[in-house]
Chain A
Amino acid sequence: MSEKKRKKIKEEQFPQDPSRRSFLNKLWIGLGILALFEFALLVMAYLRPSKTGVKSGDSETIIEAGPVAKFHLDSVTAFIRGKFYLCRLEDGGFLAVSRKCTHLGCTVPWLDKEKRFACPCHASAFDIKGEVINPPAPRPLDLYRLFIENNMVKVDTGKRIKRSEFRAEQVVYAKKVQT
């Protein structure tokens, strides 16, 4: 049976106003698409990574690194639990840098002899301030917020701060000059 003939028979069997028919058809299709869309949204919302409930600034994310005097000038101390390095620069300033390479996310070890962070994955290297000294890493190591209260160094590990370059304001100093 040809397509035309079939259509004709159909129309004879169900005589209907064609415009109304096509309107209803479109309505059904529209509603169907809407339902699919809603369903997709629902699935997305369900799959979205849930917040753990821990926010930056909560006491749980703040790590007490230790008294200021404990850290030698020009030294780097690793904090495994907080996933960061505490760097004390030559002028006594502090930085808390993330251990995550900004290239693709490998963990960078600090090489004390060579005085640099060297990524084992694709050979990026960073200096003590986290600045790139060897690409492919595109930007300096991320920072965590660091503050000094009563001569105690504390680091808020709740939020990683991206930076495009090293700037002097990023360094935190103890209030009084240490002796």
Chain B
Amino acid sequence: MGKSRNGIDHQIGFIQSLFHSIFPGILRGVKDQERYRRYLNTFILHFRPRNVPSRTLRFTLTWGLGGMAVVLILMLFGTGVLLKFAYHPFPDKAYESILHLQHDIQFGQLIRNIHHWSANILLVVVFLHFLRVFFTGAFHPPRQFNWIIGLSFFLTVLLSNFTGYLLPWDQLSFWAITICTGMFDYIPGAGLWLQKMIRGGAEVGPSTLTNFYAIHTVILPAVIILFMPFHFWRVRKAGGLVIPRTPEEDNETRGEMVPSIPNLIVREIALALILIAFILVISVFFNAPLESKANPGLSPNPTKAPWYFLGFQEILLHFSPLIALFFIPVLMIIALVSIPYMHYPSNTAGVWFASSKGRRMAIGATAAALIATPIGILLDEYVVDFAVWIPGLSPVISQGLIPLGIVLVGFYGFYLLLKPRYHANKNETVQVVFCFFLTAFIILTITGIWFRGSGMRLSWP
């Protein structure tokens, strides 16, 4: 009796000493707990600032969007790695492996749904983050370059979504990737070469799937892992976030500082938990789509690009391909990249919409685009046809330069109309242009998603 009791004591003693070797001192009283809490805090302070201006904690500055993007990316990495265990990147196995994942693997469908919804919501969140950064003027010096990093980051997230889209190898993904990579046909010069490189051959096939799989699960994740610390480091280098202020307030006043533990950290954790709960709920109730297996001999009607490219697909319906797929995207990129590098009369960092006049003008431009874009789409669909009205023109002119010219002239007229009324400075003018074209692009995307039916004719959703 006594002997065996001794044995148990011995075992308990062993477990205790093992426990203490891992967590030395954790059960040894209040003082030690205090000490370990301090260690944890100093660990947290390796990547969060010690103090933050209390005004930047206001939810209505960031809307938590950057933080939400980080959480979604972490969820994508977690579920993505799990998916890798079930997925086979070969045309004759990919679709079956997704079916197997959904039907036979415990929680397989749920994991796939989480990956799907996180990916799509991430795009929306990053887009909104981009808007908040723009409209709070957070691209002015010293944050100029972080805008560029952000744009590259955006591109990376888009490409992640795009390369992931092919992987299920169903009708939806096969044809979406076919027409999206088909667009390279129209890029002058290196277009065909690029297309062949991306597809790994002349057509979408086994090599395309291998390429996309490698890019999706190795290259882009690596790029994202590099971009994230770079982006955050620049936020720190700029002395933290922009300080929200009214136009009259001085740019330099930082106001009261508060310790980030607990003020910032608790907010971040709360937001992360709410977001994770939200994604889980959506993933339980809504399954990621999966159509029948890819069939290269049968294009579904209608065939659409992924929703985030439908703005471009819609532009493609109205303009000749060279304009729609080359000039407009290139112009867009140049415009976005040059936003922080124009010379502005005032640094409006921290002021929503640059000024109260800026706000009124932004609303005006948005309203104008809201009205003008649908009218433009309807006119082009049912009334205007330069190719018939002026026969003998090359399509680049009749479907490209003429409509583009009309859009630009129309916008310029609108601008001339507004200018004398508002005496806008450059900050406000750039914002007006941004609002107008952004709204137009959003409406084009919405049209592409919901108002294009069979044969890509306009129809109700």
- A and B pair up: yes
Residues of A bordering B, CB below 8 Å:
47-49, 80, 83, 99, 103-109, 119-123, 135-136, 138
For B197, give its contact among A48, A99, A104, A108 (CB under 8 Å).
A48
Residues of A within 8 A of B175 (CB): 106, 121
Residues of B within 8 A of A108 (CB): 299
* A105-B316 in contact (CB<8A): no
Residues of A within 8 A of B300 (CB): 120
For A120, give its contact among B201, B387, B455 (CB under 8 Å).
B455
Residues of B within 8 A of A109 (CB): 298
Residues of B within 8 A of A49 (CB): 196-197, 199-201, 207
Prevailing SS type, chain A contact patch: loop
Residues of B bordering A, CB below 8 Å:
175, 178-179, 181-183, 185, 196-197, 199-201, 203, 207, 296-303, 316-317, 321, 387, 395, 399, 454-457
- Report B253 CB to chain A, min CB distance, Å: 31
* A107-B299 in contact (CB<8A): yes
Contact A136 to B179, CB < 8 A, known contacts A49-B200, A120-B302, A120-B303: no
Prevailing SS type, chain B contact patch: helix
Contact A121 to B298, CB < 8 A, known contacts A105-B179, A106-B179: no
- Report B260 CB to chain A, min CB distance, Å: 32
Number of residue pairs spanning A and B whose beta carbons lie under 8 angstroms apart: 66
- Report B174 CB to chain A, min CB distance, Å: 11
Residue of A nearest to B452 (CB): A122
* A122-B317 in contact (CB<8A): yes
Q: A106 vs B185: C-alpha distance in the bound complex, in angstroms?
A: 13
Q: A48 vs B196: C-alpha distance in the bound complex, in angstroms?
A: 8
Q: A47 vs B203: C-alpha distance in the bound complex, in angstroms?
A: 16
Q: A47 vs B196: C-alpha distance in the bound complex, in angstroms?
A: 11
Residues of A within 8 A of B179 (CB): 104-106, 121
The 8 closest A-B pairs by CB, nearest first: A120-B301, A104-B182, A105-B182, A106-B299, A104-B179, A121-B303, A123-B455, A49-B201
Q: A113 vs B126: C-alpha distance in the bound complex, in angstroms?
A: 49
Q: A80 vs B295: C-alpha distance in the bound complex, in angstroms?
A: 11
- Report A116 CB to chain B, min CB distance, Å: 13
28 contacts between A and B (CB under 8 A): A47-B197, A49-B197, A49-B207, A80-B297, A83-B296, A83-B297, A99-B297, A104-B185, A105-B179, A105-B181, A105-B182, A105-B185, A106-B179, A106-B299, A107-B296, A107-B297, A119-B299, A120-B301, A120-B303, A121-B179, A121-B299, A121-B301, A122-B317, A123-B456, A123-B457, A135-B399, A136-B316, A138-B321
Contact A122 to B298, CB < 8 A, known contacts A47-B197, A49-B197, A104-B178: no
Q: Which of B201, B301, B321 has the most CB of A within 10 A?
A: B301
Q: Which of A80, A122, A123 has the most CB of B within 10 A?
A: A122
Q: A120 vs B453: C-alpha distance in the bound complex, in angstroms?
A: 11
Q: A49 vs B317: C-alpha distance in the bound complex, in angstroms?
A: 31
For B302, give its contact among A80, A104, A121, A138 (CB under 8 Å).
A121
* A138-B395 in contact (CB<8A): yes
Q: Which of B203, B317, B455 has the most CB of A within 10 A?
A: B455
